Every structure is written in C-alpha cells, then in structure tokens.
Structure 1
C-alpha cells in the first residue's frame, strides 16, 4: 500500500532504537537507568487533580469551543500580563492539545510548499519534521558550543532568502538548557523585522530556570516584535501536566483564527476536563513550581560536577530546562567507537544507562541527559558512565 509522500519525508526519531533497547532490557530484568525523560518526575499538584474531578462531577465533559474555553483563554491572558508584561485578548489565544500540537497547527496554517523556516541547532526533535509535514524546508543553522549553542545575528542574516517565512527561537532550550538574553534577542529581532520574518517563540521551559537570569520573551521587546511573534507555551513542564496535553499559542488574531479553524476539523477541541484543570492551575494562588525548581537545581549541580569529571566529556552548564547536553566526542574517540550513536548503544548494553544521542537534535557530538529523576539514579548513572569510559580507554 502506497503511503502519502508527506510522511515519506519524515526522519525516524533517533531515540526510538535506544528506547526500544532500554525497554527490552528492562523487561529482561536488567537494572536500566533511563536519562531520556522529557517530563518532570513529579505528579500533577493535588489541587489541579481535584479541579479535574470537580469538572467531571459537574458535567464538564462535553465539547468545548475549538480554541478552548473562554475562562482558560482569559486566564492565559492574565498569565501573560503577570509573568511577561504582555497584553493579549482572548481572541489572540488558542488552547491546543499540548504545545506540540500548537506548533504543528501553526506550521500548517503558515507554511506553503517551499517556504523556509530557520531552525537553530541543536533543536527539539520535532521542529524539522513538523515543518516538512507542512511542505516547508527546515533551514538548519548550527549554533556553536563556544557561543552557548545560541544563534548569532551574523548566522541569521547569512541564511535568509526570499523564501524565508519564519524562525524558531526556543529559550530556555531543549536540549541544551541555554537562554538568550535581552541583547541577543534584540539583535535577532531587528533582523526579523528588517526581513519581515515571523518569530515562533517556544517558551515551554520558562519557569524552569536555575540562575539569577530572568526569562524574557522576544515579544516583550517592542510592539513590532510582538506583532511578528507567535508565543508557544503550555502547562506540561511548569505544572507537571505532560499527560494532560494542554498547550497554547498567542499572537496575531488572523493566525490564531486560522489555527482555531484548523483545530475544528482535526481535534475539535482539547479535552474539556484537562482544560478545567488548567484553568485551576492558572487561577490558584498555590505555587506548583518552587519544589520542582529546588529539586532540579540540586540535581543539576550534582550531576554536572559528576559528568564533567569523566575523561573526554565536556559540558556547557545549562541555565534552564532539565537537561545536560555534554560533548562526548573525545570520549567516543578514545573509547574506539565510530560514532556517538554507537557509543550510546554500547553504554546501554554494557552499563544499562540509556542516554539520547545528539544526532536527533542536530548535534552529532553530544548526548542529552535528563535529570528529571532521583538523585540516587543520577549518581549511579554517572558512576556507570565513568566506569564505561575508563574501561574502554
């Protein structure tokens, strides 16, 4: 049976093989430590769970408007004003089935065949694939480790063509944990204004920052940048609600309306119960993030020191999210492997530690380690990685 051409362009996730192998080893009874998790290891706060129960008991189990219930969209507007000093109205907001689906829907309404979207690398694995599904061409621009994995204005200017439609900015970043500061965002923003490029600002990790640096949305910098920016966010990371699948986009009314119309023919609406849970999350005075941030910061400090102590591994210390993205090229070479992917596979087979190879993020010399797991597991994982590296020298 012949498949549609659009899916033939998709690149299989580089994490699938390692994930399948880790699962197989676990099923065989091996003590596998997985550091691939892209979600907090905390349960959703109880007050949010109770709000979902109340919603079900009170009959909030029917269809909702495709763009999300009015109350939640208004609560998101209030969140933007409080956290980011950004003024949006509810018709500039769409609630989606997770931030990933906000991105997917946005690309579908923005991109025509042949349009180019600039994607700084390292990047989150789904960006290029979603662009390709919309008929666009992802233009990958390698950001150097020496510049903390951040795109420079010179790099941006060099790749802009008459086909450039948009650029993705992800800060704090998955997989690197880096953040752009105000000066850097301003420099990139001026170029985007000059060439009339739409900015897609993925801010899903904005609450998970472990330094004195403050999250800054590029949409905050000027009215013109706000007009050209679509902000993507959600509650998955900030409120430990990954499985609830509530994300959102904010920006130009015409774009948001088009996204809402598309959603009406795809998902119909985000799950009603999850929307009322999200409404409680944003309206409550309870603080869901402090405990998570304290734990993640402690783990980051501990794991970072253990990883950079391993021969042949270097690492830029991240400021946000919950990942390390160390460079392991020297260790791989010293250990006699042809690639990082082969090294990662051997590490899993011999020491039962599952990492995500950087190839899936557009950076072949790195690996991604999630510290969204216990201190004990992280300590043991670092011990095993070091033993593996030393034994293969």
Structure 2
C-alpha cells in the first residue's frame, strides 16, 4: 500500500522538546537516575481552588458540548482580566478560548496567513512557530539574535525584514527559550514599525506573570488604538496556574479575526473541555497567592543556575528576566547542540534541549522548573561533562 503523506505534513520537523522530555520520562520509568531539564511546565501543582471548581463541574454533570469559542462566563472573565491587568478593552465576543496556548497560536496563524505570505519570527524562537507557519502554507522568515544583544530584535532589524509579502510578526515576551523580556519602550518601538508597515502582530504573552529583577510586561496592544487593531494576543493557563495538562488557552483579537478563529475552531476541535473551562473561570476570578510563592522559588533557582552555568568551563549565559528557562552558550565546548545534548544524556544522564530546535545551534535550553536538589545534581553533572571536554 502506498501511503502518500501530504507535503505539509512531510515538511514538518518533530518537536525536539517533546521528544527529549518523552525520552527522559522513559529513562526515569526504567529506574535510571536521570535529571530532566527539558520540561516546559511548572513543577508545582495546580492550585486547589481551581481543581475544586473543575471537580464540582464534573459532579454537577457539566460534561457536554459548550459553544466552540468557550463558555460565556470564561470569555467574560478573560476580557475582565485584560481590562484589569493590561488596560485593554475587549468584548467577550473578541475572546476565543482554545485547547491550550499552542492551539491558540495555530488558530491565529491559520486565520491570518496563507500561501505567499511571510511571517517574521525572531530567532531563537519557540519550536512550533515555524512549523505552524508552514502548515498555513506561508513562509517563516527568521530575525537572528544572539546573547550579545540579550536575544532582542531591534526596530531597525524588523523594518529591514519587512517586504510586501510580510503578513505577521511574532512577538514572544517573556520569551521561550531565552527568558528575554522586552522593556515597554522596546515593545512600543517594535509595534510602531508594524503599525507603520501594516503588519499584524501575534503577541504571545503566556509567560506574562513570570518576571524577575523588576522586569515589566506591557502588551503591545496597549499603546494606542492602532497598536490594538494590529495585535492578536495569545495567552493561556499553563504557566502561571500550572495547568499544562488542562489544555486551556485563549486569543484576544480584533473582532473580524476573532470571528475567523471561531469559524476555524468550530470545524476542527470545537470547544475546549467543558469542565476545564470552569477551572479556568476559578483561576481568573480566584486568589493568586500561589504566584508570589512560585516566583520566589523560581527566582531562587534562576539565580543559582545562572551563577553555576557561568562558572562552568566552555559555557556562558545571559540571565533570564522572565519565564523559567536559561539559554547558555555552549560554543566554548567545541560541540554543537545536538551532539552536546546527546553525549550529556548518554554519559551523565542529564536531559537538556538542543538549541538547534529553537534555531540557535550554539546554545542549549535548560528549564529550572524543577527542584533545587535536581538543579544542583544536574549542574554538577553538566560541569563534570564540560570539564571532560575543555579541561
């Protein structure tokens, strides 16, 4: 039988982050003493009041279809969140609840891009952005950055990359994989270029609440009516509420784009899980005391890991100001990222993600969303590995 695979599917690169995380979990299940730095999820449990809300919804039989775009109660709560925290006015009809932040990103790209379009993506980038662009038939165009500029794209670099085919610019701040946070002034400057050139912005703000060292998040949509009309916000519950497995995200968009996303979702996944949406309402309307504790612990780990990494021969690392990742430069070891991570896993039982997955082959990504004990053990092993390479 000739199983013909579509060109779009064949062109995709499998997610290295998920692949490495799965391999690490298999090794742990086999009883191996493995330290995993690959996971992109908090190691804290979902707050109890959110779980209670979902359990109550299940007990009450709230297990049927909902509107494809989400229950009105949740869409209203999301709109109120943006008004309260970001100074942005959205009607509930402009909010589309999706099956996770990744699904929200895909919906946006599918609703706004097509064959012949170009999408500008700062590099390093989250692994799925380029693949989603390819699935929409558009072309990803990368804007390279390095640790020397704290992995930030400049307005001049953005303007120079825009062509008549440019449809969308993807802005992710705080960033996965680098932890970079653009200042409000830098965000506005990038937004100004997009407004001037008529380019839409997909602003991925899922790490909005995870900030350190006085870093400030401001949405590009908040600077003017023109910025608002050029911006589609992508967000979700995975990071700040540790709801990764709940698969619950959202978009906030100008109404025509929101309608297009709703139509796409109605013919693909339909609604997000009904009782998970009740948990989402509880997350947005309930207490946030957990976040202060989580941030203090993330910050403690971040500082420790950053200091350790910069003392390891062959490595250098810019400190993150958001999210829960560090992105050390490994070029001093003489290895590229895949070989480095492969040998690190085989010899020292430490799982990290090769930077090539993010478009940066001289780096690796380390998640500090793990215990301090794991950080200490894993960094001891990384140091031993690097010393074997460079002395």
TM-score normalized by the length of structure 2: 0.97
SS at match of 1:288: helix
Deviation at 1:29, TM superposition (A): 2.8
- SS of 1:87's equivalent in the other structure is coil
The equivalent of 1:66 in structure 2 is 68
Does the 8 A contact of 1:18 with 1:345 survive in 2? no
2:39 aligns with: 37
Cα distance in 1 for residues equivalent to 2:7 and 2:201: 28
Q: Give the equivalent residue in structure 2 for 1:209.
A: 211
Q: Which residue of 2 aligns with 1:340?
A: 337
Matched, 1:170 2:172: yes
Paired with 2:18 and 2:278, the residues of 1 have a C-alpha distance of 33
Equivalent residue number for residue 364 of structure 1 = 361
Distance 2:149 2:271 in 1: 41
1:392 maps to what in 2?
Answer: 389
1:153 aligns to 2:150 (yes or no): no
Change (3 A) 1:267 1:322: same
Question: 2:377 matched to 1:380?
Answer: yes
**What is the DSSP-based 3-state SS (H/G/I as helix, E as strand, rest coil) of the residue aligned with 2:303?**
helix
Asked if residue 351 in structure 1 is aligned to residue 339 in structure 2, the reply is no
Deviation sequence 1:115-146 (CA, Å, 0-9, x none): 00000001000000000000010001101222
Measured after TM superposition, the shift of residue 61 of structure 1 is 1.0
The correspondence of residues 10-29 of structure 1 with structure 2, limited to 5 A, is 10-15=12-17, 18-19=20-21, 21-29=23-31
| Residues in 1 aligned to 2:94 and 2:19: alpha-carbon distance in whole angstroms | 40
State whether residues 20 and 38 of structure 2, in contact with CA within 8 Å, keep that contact through their aligned partners in structure 1: no
Task: Tell me the SS of whatever aligns to 1:392.
Answer: helix
Instruction: List per-residue Cα deviations over 1:143-162 (Å, max 9, x = no partner).
Output: 12221101011111111111
Question: C-alpha separation between the residues in 2 aligned to 1:27 and 1:289?
Answer: 31
Unpaired runs of 5+ in structure 1? none
Q: How far 1:17 moved relative to its partner?
A: 5.7
Question: Which shows bigger deviation, 84-93 or 12-21?
Answer: 12-21
2:299 alignment partner in structure 1: 297
Determine the C-alpha separation between the residues in 2 that align with 1:219 and 1:287: 27
Match of 2:93 among 91, 94, 116: 91
Structure 1: distance between partners of 2:277 and 2:14? 31
CA contact (8 A) 2:37 2:351 kept: yes
Q: What is the CA-CA distance between 1:16 and the residue it aligns to? A: 5.8
| Aligned-partner Cα distance in 1 for 2:114–2:32 | 48
Rounded Cα–Cα distance in structure 2 between residues aligned with 1:230 and 1:153? 19
TM-score (norm 1): 0.96
- SS of 1:117's equivalent in the other structure is strand
* Contact persistence 1:200–1:232 (CA under 8 A): yes
Q: Secondary structure at the match of 1:102?
A: helix
Taking the aligned partners of 1:343 and 1:286, their CA distance within structure 2 comes to: 39
Distance across 2 between alignment mates of 1:258 and 1:249: 12
Q: What residue is the counterpart of 1:319 in the other structure?
A: 321
Aligned to 2:122, what secondary structure does the other structure show? strand
Q: Which runs of 4+ in 1 moved over 6 A?
A: none
- Which of 239, 244, 262 is 2:246 aligned to? 244
Residue 290 of structure 2 aligns to a residue whose secondary structure is coil
* Counterpart contact for 2:108–2:202, Cα < 8 Å: no
Q: How is 1:103-114 mapped onto 2 (pairs within 5 angstroms)?
A: 103-114=105-116
Which residue, out of 108, 127, 130, partners 1:128? 130
The root-mean-square deviation of aligned C-alpha atoms, in Å, is 1.3
Give the SS at the match of 2:289.
coil
Cα distance in 2 between the residues matched to 1:286 and 1:310: 37
Alignment equivalent of 2:188, drawn from 186, 189, 211: 186
Shift of 1:188: 1.1
Unaligned runs of 5+ in 2: none
The whole-number CA distance in structure 1 between the counterparts of 2:39 and 2:383 is 21
Match of 2:271 in 1: 269
Change in CA separation of 1:246 and 1:15 when aligned onto 2, cut-off 3 Å: closer
Alpha-carbon shift at residue 108 of structure 1 (Å): 1.1
What per-residue deviation string (whole Å, max 9, x for no partner) do you get for residues 335-367 of structure 1?
xx4x22111111111111111000000111000
